[in-house]
Chain A
Amino acid sequence: MEEEIDTRKINNSFLRDHNYATEADIISTVEFNNTGELLATGDKGGRVVIFQREQESKNQSHRRGEYNVYSTFQSHEPEFDYLKSLEIEEKINKIRWLPQQNAAYFLLSTNDKTVKLWKISERDKRPEGYNLKDEDGRIKDPSTITTLRVPVLRPMDLMVEASPRRVFANAHTYHINSISVNSDYETYMSADDLRINLWHLEITNRSFNIVDIKPANMEELTEVITAAEFHPHQCNMFVYSSSKGTIRLCDMRASALCDKHSKLFEEPEDPSNRSFFSEIISSISDVKFSHSGRYMMTRDYLTVKVWDLNMENRPIETYQVHEYLRSKLCSLYENDCIFDKFECVWNGSDSVIMTGSYNNFFRMFDRNTKRDVTLEASRENSKPRAILKPRKVCMGGKRKKDEISVDSLDFSKKILHTAWHPSENIIAVAATNNLYIFQDKVN
């Protein structure tokens, strides 16, 4: 498929001339809101940047709405746990939007330990004509007031304010890896390595533990929770994935503590592909329900799998993301790349899935036509408004023109976080500290 680049490359790097990127600017999560009007990014420095899509105007019909910065705020600060002598990183692990119910926008953002509910609201009017204060804000001397008047609202420059409305803290001993808003819009869950807690959006001093896989003796620990998500329509169902490549579907109606799964999704290991790293590469880094709620998708190190919720013993589709890395697993283990956690996303109609890879490549798979494409998010190789050229990685032997060989891949340039607009073909791709937004070609 062809993609036109509408490169809204937002480079927060302090030294723009150099390739050096401040570590705090590394984007750690990307998420469209439910209408696609807003796009939020979180970074390693604890900041959230929200982009808003321009309203389409008649005189610029050849350009569809572009995304501009709407609001920036510091969501989390670095903390120090004095009791355990541990630093708590301010890196934003996940952002999830709440559905819009009034003029303000709400989102949940989380670092390793604390979830916060933020309200983003616009202010474009301000009251003028106070009785007790003058225009500068100074208190008037009451003896000088002779008349009463009613303040009126006058227009002002648009100001976007972000304010923390709730702080959900002290509920997680381990690092939070996922948050998911329930379809009842009242509750949400937060998952760390060993436990999942259920919260009510209004109540911050209490949460319910719904999954606990911590063994009595930590020596017996062999499996951790890697991701969790609520079903998009059934408010009692959720799934969580593990480091051993299993996904458990749980029903909260069954019991208060959902340690017993309702369904267990696991694909038997392929004996021909067994190696010391089989378990590590089977660890699931992301799980996402389809919009329809009928399917779910999981990402492990080398593949993306689509599962039918009605069939537990194997996925219905498996897509190879970068199979050429299978022979390099030992090196990737040595340089820690094998632990990278890639995310995956569905498009609005659940017909295409997308995930990232190395060398700033990202891959899209069309589930209907079974075609796939590899694209690159980089400034050097693409001009704005140009159509992205498909890329190809060659395993060995003769390298064709425009192909890149496996050994030339840059493993420091990884695309872990991507997002797809809920209804249109607009994607956001985070490449280290740069955000790329691509749109479908408009004729």
Chain B
Amino acid sequence: MAASSIPLGKGVKRKRHEDDGGQAAAEYTPQTFHCGTLLDISLLKLHQNCVLAERNLHRSVLIANTLRRLQAEIRWENGRNTMPSEMPLQPPEQLTSGANQLEPLSKMGEEITDLNNNIAKAPPPSLIEAPFCLLSGNDSSLSSAISTILQDLDYVEDLSTPLGQAPPEDDHLLPLKPVSPDPRPEPRSLDSIFTAFEIADSDDFLIDGSLDAIFEDIDTSMYDVPQAFPAGACPTIQPNKASRGIHSAKPHNSRTDFELENLMDLLVG
């Protein structure tokens, strides 16, 4: 137990934003930075609580409520910030923004960062947006994360409720690769997470049969398993939920035409 107080926010590494030369940092309100730190801490705590042998429902509920509050605050901040700013080509919730700034401790944060890394071919737009405005696009995933953790608590604690699930307690935040369920979340390399997303979602582009031929030699079998899910969806062990996650990350939510064209250029030419 820490004997002395830890200064607020100083324990978290902040990455200097490469494209902007550090100007962006000054734009972030302390409040939103605070949000981000707290979000990471809370998610980590919630996960830790789940894998601990002694599961403390009281603690989990308090942390979950704090997370919901943070989520609401971020949503509100996001709504407030996107209104005055000029709209770039990308939709506001897809901006790279400060997701790169912080090194998130949670899996969820990493997925989002990587997703943004991929998109950021174009110079980043105005960085007045809150660091975690991207989370608003994955709002539902955060909610479903909290819900899933609470639900699994229910399963473990009270077998009388017919949930029909069979989750091990320590698999809440599984790594993206379904093949190696790790009890602890490992930091995933940016490339591997990004790759998983890209290929998994590339199926959506294959509407035209003529394009199939291009991808014939690419082995996507690993990523076609139902448990593979795109970045942003809550990683759960239930296949039905995971597939729902896939569907929820349809192009119209996470991609714009500009990005599609960009990707197509990459893949085809």
Contacts and interface: CB of A to CB of B under 8 A. Distances in A.
Interface of A: 83-87, 89, 173-175, 177, 193-194, 214, 217-219, 221-224, 226, 243, 276-277, 279-280, 283, 328, 330-337, 339, 406-412
B1 A277 contact: no
A374 B89 CA distance: 61
Contacts of B34: 330
A279 B2 CA distance: 23
Given A276-B69, A279-B65, A175 B2 contact: no
B61 A221 contact: yes
- Looking at chain B's contact residues, the main secondary structure is helix
B65 A334 contact: no
Contacts of B11: 334
A279 B159 contact: no
Given A276-B70, A331-B7, A193 B1 contact: no
A189 B7 CA distance: 43
A222 B65 contact: yes
Contact of B57 (A174, A339, A408): A174
B263 interface: no
18 contacts: A83-B159, A85-B169, A174-B157, A177-B58, A221-B150, A221-B154, A222-B61, A222-B64, A224-B57, A279-B62, A279-B65, A330-B9, A330-B38, A334-B11, A335-B2, A339-B58, A339-B62, A408-B4
B61 A223 contact: yes
B5 A407 contact: yes
Contacts of B248: none
B159 to A, nearest CB: 7
Nearest to A173: B158
Contacts of A223: 61
A68 to B, nearest CB: 33
Interface of B: 1-9, 11, 34, 38, 41, 45, 53-59, 61-62, 64-66, 69-70, 73, 146-147, 150-151, 153-154, 156-161, 169
B5 A243 contact: no
Contacts of B5: 328, 331-332, 406-407
B150 A86 contact: no
B3 A412 contact: yes
Nearest to A192: B57
Nearest to B2: A335
A39 to B, nearest CB: 28
Given A276-B70, A331-B2, A173 B62 contact: no
A272 B227 CA distance: 46
B4 to A, nearest CB: 6
Nearest to A244: B65
B61 to A, nearest CB: 5
A283 B57 contact: no
B1 A84 contact: no
Given A226-B58, A337-B1, A84 B159 contact: yes
Contacts of A412: 1, 3
B62 A243 contact: yes
Nearest to A406: B5
Given A86-B53, A218-B151, A331-B2, A339 B59 contact: yes
A221 B53 CA distance: 21
Nearest to B148: A219
Nearest to B44: A334
B13 to A, nearest CB: 15
Given A219-B150, A222-B61, A333-B41, 11 more contacts: A174-B158, A193-B57, A194-B57, A221-B61, A222-B64, A243-B61, A280-B65, A331-B2, A334-B2, A335-B1, A411-B2
Contacts of A283: 58, 62
A22 B220 CA distance: 54
A111 to B, nearest CB: 11
A290 B231 CA distance: 55
A251 to B, nearest CB: 26
A359 to B, nearest CB: 10
Nearest to A194: B57
Contacts of B58: 177, 193, 224, 226, 243, 283, 339
B169 to A, nearest CB: 8
